[in-house]
Structure 1
Amino acid sequence: MKQLFPLLFLLVLPTLVFSQIRKLDKGLGGFNGVNQSTDSLSNDEINVKLSGKTKYTDYKVISHTNDTTYIDTTLTIQKVYKFNFRRKDNFELLQFHNQGQTFNNLAYDFNSVSLFPDIGFRAKQFNYMNIEDIDYYHVPTPTTEIMYRTGQEQGQVLDALFTLNFSERLNVSVAYKGLRSLGQYRRSLAATGNFRTTLSYRTPKEQYAIRAHITTQDFTNQESGGLTEAMLQNFIENDPNFIDRARLDVNLNNTENLLEGTRLYIDHNYKVFSSKDSTSQKDFSNLKIGHVLTYENKTYNFIQSATTDFFGEAYTSGALNEGTKNRITNNQGYLEFNSKYILGRFKVKTNYTDVSCGYDSVYNPNSDIPKIKLKGKAVSFGAEWNGKIGNFQVNADATVAPGSGHLAGNYLKGDALYKKDSLFTVKGSLLISSKAPNFNFQLFQSTYDDYNWSNNFTNVDTRNIGFSFDSKWGSASLDFTNIEDYTYFDEANSPQQFGGSITYLKVKANKEFKYRKFALNNTVMYQNVSNGSTVFRVPEFVTRNTLYYMDDWFKGKPLLVQIGATLNYFTKYKANAYNPLLAEFTLQNDTEIGYPTLDVFFNARVRRTRIYFQIDNVTSGFTSKNYFSAPNYPYRDFSIRFGLVWNWFI
C-alpha cells in the first residue's frame, strides 16, 4: 500500500505548478441527479478567481447520495475544527496523544445504516473511508488539493488529490493520504495510508451512467499497552526526571496491530426512457435499470515477537501473527423511476450478499471453538423514496433480509426536512434497525487462552429519533436512542450482551456571537443514559468554546488572519479502557477522567492557501497531570503544529 504513494506523487507533481481543490460541507438532501449547494457563498467569498466564462460553481463535489457542493477556499472556524488527519470535526471524540492513533468516545452516533455486521476492531476504523466517504467530481479544468500537517515527534500527514474531466461527461480522480508520526511516548508510532480513485461517466444522451471507485487502506500502530503502574505515578506527580516522555516505561515493547482494507464499488444504470421521451412524461419518467457491485476485503493482524503476560496465559511463548479476514460481496439490482403520483423518485432493490469472516488456521488447540469461519449468503429486499412537496423534502429507505442467523436483519430509515429559504431548516429523522453484532463479538481466537470464544448472540435492536434545527442564529439537535441486546466488552475483555434496555439522550447546540472583528463560537452537548449506564458510559457535559479575532491585514487585503484560542472540557466519567489485542474499548470501573484543555492558534489565508499554526494543550506545563485519553494513556502535552491546505486550478 505504501508503495503507491511515490506513484501518486509522480502523477500529481506535473500539476502542482497549476492546480488544487477543497470541498464544502455536504448538502442537506439527496435526490436523483445532483442538487444545488445549500451554501450561500458569493464568488468573492469562495475566492476562486477564474477567467472567461468559467465560474466557481462549475467546480463540483458530488457525494455518494448525489448532494453537490462547490470548491471552497475560505478560512472559517469550521475549517480549524476539521484540520486533522481525519479531516472531520472530532468534537464527539477524545483523541490519543499521537495523530494516527485511535479515539475514545465522548458521544455516540446511531444515524448510520448497515444491514450486515462488520469485521469489528472498531478502534482501528476511525480513519477508515467507507462508501459514503468517497466523493466524485465534475471540474472544467484540472484541479488539485494538498493538505499537509506536522505530526508528533518526526511525523506528518499529507493528503493529495487530483481530479480532471477528460470531457464534460467523464471525470477521473486519484488521491492518497499518507501519515507517519513517531509520537512522544514509547511504542506509539502510527503509519497509515488511504488510497482512492474514482470514475464517473455518462453517455452523450445520458442513457447510460456509471460511477465507480477503488480504495486500498492500511493502518499500522505500535501498541504500548499504556504506562506501567510505576511510570503512571511518575507522570501524575510530574517527576522532573520524566519530562522527556520517551523515558516512561510502557507495558508492551514488542507489539503492533494492522488493519487493511480493499474495496471495489461500481454503480451503473441504463435509462430505458427519460422525461424527454413521449411516454407520459408527466405521469412516469426516467425509468432506470441499475446494478451495484460492492466487493470488500478487510484483514486485521495482531503481531508480537514473543507473547507476554500482559494478556494472560498463552499456548506458546514464541512470535505470533494472528490474522482475521473478512470478505463481503454484494450485488444489488434496482429499478428506479420518477412519477407525479409519488411526488418524486421511487426505487425498488434486491441484494444478493456473500459473506465470510474468520481464520485460516487454529491458533490455540486448547480452545473449544467449534469452527474458525463464519460464512453465509443472504437475499434482501428493499425500497427507497425521495419526495418533495413545496419546501418539504422526505426521504425513506427500508431493507429486510429474512431468515435467521448472523445475516438476518432489517432497517427502516426516514427523514423529513423543511427549509425556509436561507432563514432556517428543520429536520426530523427516524431509524429502526436490527442486525447481528460485529463478527469479532461472535467469533474470536488467539494464542492467548482468555481470547477465544464463539457466541450465538441475538440481533441488536436500535431505535433512534432525531430532530435538528439549523439557522443563521444558531443550530441545535436532539437524538433519543433505545438499544436492546447491546453488545460490549466487559472488564475481563470478554464479549457480553446486555439483557436490559439502554436509553440514551443526546442534546447538542451551537451558537456563534460576533462583535466587530471578534467572534465567540460555542458548542455544548448534554447527555443522559437513564437505563443501562453500567455498560454504556458517556460524560454528562461536553463543551467547546473558541474566542477568535479575524481581519484582513495590509493594503489591498492580501492576507486574512485568524487568531484565537479553543477551550475544550468534558465532565468526569469512567471512560472505557483500550485493549490493543482486540483493537476495542472495554469497560473499567477504577478510573474517572474529565478535564479542560486549551489550544491556541494563528491561521492565515493568502489567495487560495490556508496556513495553520496551533499550540496544543498550552496549560499542560503548569496544571495537574490528570489528562488522559483512556486509563494509563496520557493525552498529549504541550506541542506546536503547523500545516496548510492549498488549492490550485489550471
Structure 2
Amino acid sequence: MKRLIFTSILLCFLNVLFAQTRQPSRFSQDFGNTISQDSLRNSSRKSTSIKKIKNTDAKIEDYLIISHLNDTTFVDTTLTIQKDYNFNYLRRDNFGLMPFSNLGQTYNTLTFDFENTILMPSFGARARHFNYMEIEDINYYRVPTPLTELFFKTAFEQGQLADSFFTVNTSPQFNFSIAYKGLRSLGNYQHLLTSTGNFRFTSNYQTKNKRYSIRAHIVTQDLLNQENGGLQDASVEDFESGTEEFLDRSILEVNFENAESVLKGKRFHLEHDYKIVRKKDSLSKNKLSVGHIVSLKDKFYEYDQSSAVTSFFGSANKSSGLKDRVTLENLYNQLQLNYSNNLVGDLQVNVSHNNYNYGYNRLVVVGNTTITNRLKGDIISAGGKYLKQFNKFKLEGALGVNVSGDFEGNFFNAKAKFKLNDDVFVSASINHSSKAPNYNFLLYQSDYINYNWQNNFNNTETQQLAFQIKYKSLADITVDYSNINDYTYFKLDDARISNDNPNPIKPFQNTESISYLRVKLVNEIKYGKFALNNTVLYQNVQDDNNVFNVPELTTRNTLYYASHLFKKAMYLQTGVTFNYFTSYYMNAYNPLLAEFYVQTDREFGDFPRLDFFINAKIRQTRIYLKAEHFNAAFTGYDYFAAPNNPYRDFAIRFGIVWNFFL
C-alpha cells in the first residue's frame, strides 16, 4: 500500500505541476491515423459537463483515448448503467464471470469466445490472468489539459482497491500517462489474502511534419494470492447448513494454510511508423508507410508451500520448502508495409519473429523418462490485413501463418459490417484458428510428483461463424457457432486415483469434435425515469465426452430509476440487479496449477444473486454504494464460485471515481 499512496501523491503533484504549463485546448495537427474510421463500432457520445474543466476553451471531446487498434473515443464522465457494471476490480463488464469470495482472486468462466488471432502458445496459470494487463488492455491518450482520474472501492475485511491515473500533453506532439492500480484485501476465509499491483506508463509522439509517429508503454505487474485449497468437505456441509455459528466464515476449515502463489511480469512495448507517401489533401489517392513493432515480455508464475500437503496434491519429492517456478521470456518483432488507396482500401503485409524461452531451472525424471526443462526457439510468421469502407458498408480481414519453427499455427478472420441507418446495424464474421495448446499443457514440473509431464499435443483447431444485429437500444442480438477440434483441458486422471494419490490432475486432449452455440441478447426498455436493462445468454454444447461445460442460461437484469435532483446539481441512479445461471458441472479450481479443471461429480448454480445500488454523479465525480448479494440469508447457502469455493456473502461496499480537468 505504500506504493499506492506514493503513486497517488505523485499523480496529484504532477497534475498541479503541469497545470501551470497547460497547452491550448485545440490541436491543429492531425494525430496520425488514430481517429477511428469505424463509425459502425464507435457510437458518438453526448458531451458531458465541462464545469470542472478550468480551461473553458477545452471540450470533453478533446480528451482522446486511443486503443491499441487506433480506435479513438473520448473521456466519458456520464453515469450510465454500464458504468455500474464496469465498477469492479477488473474495471470492465464481468458478465459471464463468476468471482470468488475475495477481491483479487480468480473467476470461474461461464462463457467462452473462440475467436483467435494468436499464433503462439499462451503462458499457463490462466486463472491468474484476469487482472493481468495485456497489450490490448493498454490505451494511449491525447489531451488539451492535464487529466487525472482517481478510483477507489472498499474491499473485504482489511484493505482497499485504488487506481490512480494521470496524463498530459507537454506539446501537441507528445503525450505521456502514468497509472497504478493496487489492491489489498484480507477476505472472510482463512488464509485468503490478496495483494496486487499494476503499474502502467505510456507515451506517444508525432513529428510536426506528421511523417513519423511512435508510441510505447511499460507495464509491470505483481499479483500475489494466499492459497487455501478451498473448504474441506465437512466445512462445505457446515457452510450449506446456514447454522449461525458458521456465518463467521473464519472458523470454517480449509484444506491448507501454508501456500501462496504469485504471478509477476513486465513488458516493454514499442510501435512506430514512417510515412513514405502521405496523403496531403482530399484529392490524394495513395498512402504508403512502413511500420515496426517490438515487444519484450518477461513473466513468471511461482507456487510456494512451506510443507507438503500430500492429502490434497499427492506424493511430493520433499516434505518442506516446496517451490514451483516457471518463467517465460518472449521477444517479438514485426515489420509492416502499409498501403492505402481510395479505390483499393487499406492493405498491410507483415513479417514477424518470436524468440521464446519457457521453462524451469531443473531436470525431472518420472519413472524412466527425463522431462526436459525448456521449450525455446524461434518462430517466423507472415500475415496481412485488409480494410475497405464503402459508404455504409465495411469489409475487414486478417490472416497469419507460422512459416518456420517448432510451433505450427495459422488464423484467418473476415468481417462485414453494414449500417443501414442510425438505428440499424448488422455484421457477419467468419474465423478460423489453429494454435498449439498453452505452454503448461506441453511442459510442467513440480515438487509434487503428480504434476510433472511433457506432451506432444496436436494443435487445437476452431472455426466460428458469428452474426450481430442491433436496433437502437431495444435489441442487440449476437449469435455465434463454433466447432472445436482437439480441445485441451485439465481433469482428474481416474485411473491413478488412490488413497495416497487423491488428486492426480493432468492435461488431456479431446478426441471428439465439440459444437458450441451462443445466443446473446442485450436490450434496455425505458419508461419515463425507469428502465429495465437485460443481458441474456443462451448456450448449447454438443460434446460426447462432457469435457466442455457451461450453463445453458445466464442472465443479468437491472431495474433502476434515474433522474436529476437538486436543480440538476446531482444525477441519481438506484435500482436492483438480478444475476442467475442454471446449474451445470462447474469447473473446479486447482491452486497449484492456477487452472480450472473438468469435474462431473456435482452440478452447481441455480441460485439468484441480488444487488441493490445507489449511484450518484456530482459534476465530474461518480459515487457508488452497493448492497451486494443481499438475498444471501433468505435464498439458501448453496452459492459457489467453484466446488469447495463459496461465492461472497452479503456485503455493503462503497466506491468513487473522480476526474480532474485542469
TM-score (norm 1): 0.94
Query: Which residue matches 1:395?
Result: 396
Q: Which moved more, 1:414-423 or 1:365-374?
A: 365-374
- Show the counterpart of 2:211: 207
Corresponding residue for residue 453 of structure 1: 453
- Give the drift of 1:111: 2.4
Hey, what's the Cα distance between the residues in 1 that align with 2:203 and 2:405?
Answer: 38
Structure 1 residue 205, shift from structure 2 partner: 0.6
Distance 1:3 1:606, change over 3 A: closer
Give distance in 2, aligned partners of 1:546 and 1:533: 37
Q: Paired residue for 2:482?
A: 481
Query: 1:144 and 1:49, CA in 2 relative to 1: closer, same or farther beyond 3 A?
Result: closer
Task: Call closer, same or farther: CA 1:532–1:62 in 2, change over 3 Å.
Answer: farther
Tell me the CA shift for residue 16 of structure 1.
Answer: 6.0
Distance 2:598 2:332 in 1: 34
The Cα shift of 1:430 comes to 1.7
**Corresponding residue for 1:231?**
235
Change (3 A) 1:453 1:140: same
Deviating more after overlay: 462-471 vs 319-328: 462-471
C-alpha change, 1:636 and 1:46, in structure 2 (3 Å) is: farther
Which residue in 2 is equivalent to 1:603? 615
Q: CA separation of 1:46/1:225 partners in 2, compared to 1, >3 Å: closer, same or farther?
A: farther
Pairing 1:110-121 to 2, within 5 Å after superposition = 110-121=114-125
Is the contact made by 2:293 and 2:334 (CA closer than 8 Å) also made in structure 1?
Answer: yes
Q: Partners in 2 of 1:3 and 1:588 — Cα distance?
A: 41
Secondary structure, counterpart of 2:577 in structure 1: strand
Residue of 563, 566, 576 corresponding to 1:565? 576
Counterpart position of 1:618: 630
Pick closer, same or farther for the CA change 1:47–1:624 going to 2, 3 Å: farther
Question: In 2, distance between residues paired with 1:326 and 1:416?
Answer: 37
Corresponding residue for residue 151 of structure 1: 155
Q: Is the 8 A contact 1:608 1:646 kept in 2?
A: yes
Q: Count matched residues.
A: 633
Q: Is the 8 A contact 1:611 1:644 kept in 2?
A: yes
Q: Would the alpha carbon gap of residues 160 and 388 (structure 1) be closer, same or farther in structure 2, given more than 3 Å must change?
A: same
Q: Displacement of 1:465 after TM fit?
A: 1.2
Q: Does 1:575 align with 2:575?
A: no
Deviation, structure 1 residue 548? 0.6
CA offset at residue 376 of structure 1? 1.4
> How many Å separate the matches in 1 of 2:284 and 2:550?
53
Following superposition of structure 1 onto structure 2, how do residues 359-438 of structure 1 map, counting pairs within 5 Å? 359-362=360-363, 368-403=369-404, 405=406, 407-438=407-438
CA-CA distance at 1:4 after TM superposition: 4.9
Matching residue's letter, 1:11: L
**Cα distance, 1:560 vs. partner?**
0.9
Task: Give the alignment's Cα RMSD to 1 decimal.
Answer: 2.0
Name the counterpart of 1:546.
Answer: 558
Question: In 2, Cα distance between the equivalents of 1:243 and 1:546?
Answer: 28
Corresponding residue SS for 1:43: coil
Q: Given that residues 100 and 107 in structure 2 are in contact (C-alpha distance below 8 angstroms), is that contact kept between their aligned partners in structure 1?
A: yes
Between 505-514 and 35-44, the greater mean CA deviation after superposition: 35-44
**SS at 2:369 equivalent:** coil
* Contact 2:48 2:60 survives alignment (8 Å): no
The verdict on how the C-alpha distance between 1:532 and 1:105 changes in structure 2, with shifts beyond 3 A counting, is farther
3-state SS of 2:568 partner: coil
Deviations 1:38-73, CA, capped at 9 Å, x for gaps: 333333478765644322111100001111101100
Q: Which runs of 5+ in 2 are unaligned?
A: 20-31, 494-504
Deviation at 1:552, TM superposition (A): 1.1
Amino acid at match of 2:618: V
Q: Normalization by structure 2: what TM-score?
A: 0.92
Q: Report Cα offsets for 1:480-513 as digits up to 9, x if no partner.
A: 1111100000123110000111110011001111
Gaps of 5+ in 1: 21-30
Per-residue deviation, residues 158-210 of structure 1 (Å, max 9, x unmatched): 11110000111100001111011111111211111111110100100111110
- Partner SS for 1:490: strand
Find the residue that maps to 2:320 and give its secondary structure: coil
C-alpha displacement of 1:131? 0.6
- In 1, the alpha carbon distance for the partners of 2:291 and 2:52 equals 37
- Contact 1:117–1:436 (Cα < 8 Å) also in 2: yes
Shift of 1:596: 0.9
Give, as a single letter, the amino acid of the residue that structure 2 aligns with 1:96: F
Per-residue CA deviations over 1:12-35 (Å, capped at 9, x if unaligned) read: 022567999xxxxxxxxxx94322
The whole-number CA distance in structure 2 between the counterparts of 1:441 and 1:487 is 8
Structure 2: distance between partners of 1:404 and 1:434: 15
Shift of 1:421: 4.0
Shift of 1:531: 2.9
Partner Cα separation in structure 1 for residue 15 and residue 290 of structure 2: 40
> Structure 1 CA distance, aligned partners of 2:168 and 2:15?
13
Asked whether the equivalents of residues 52 and 660 of structure 2 are also in contact (C-alpha less than 8 Å), the reply is no
How far apart, CA to CA, are the structure 1 residues paired with 2:55 and 2:119? 48
**Shift, 1:522, TM fit:** 1.0
Q: Specify the code of the residue in structure 2 equivalent to 1:264.
A: F
CA drift of 1:142 comes to 0.3
Secondary structure of 2:609 counterpart: strand
Residue 364 of structure 1 contacts residue 448 of structure 1 at CA under 8 Å; is this kept in 2?
no
Measured in 2, the distance between the counterparts of 1:553 and 1:99 equals 33
Give the drift of 1:347. Answer: 0.8
Residue 338 (structure 2) aligns with: 336
Once the 2 structures are TM-superposed, how far is the Cα of residue 357 of structure 1 from its aligned partner? 0.5
**SS of alignment partner, residue 12 of structure 1:** helix
**d(CA) in 1 for partners of 2:387 and 2:101?**
43
- The residue type equivalent to 1:604 in the other structure is A
Alignment of 1:123-138 (within 5 A): 123-138=127-142
- The answer to whether 1:505 aligns with 2:528 is no
Which residue in 1 is equivalent to 2:29? none
One-letter amino acid of the counterpart of residue 413, structure 2: K
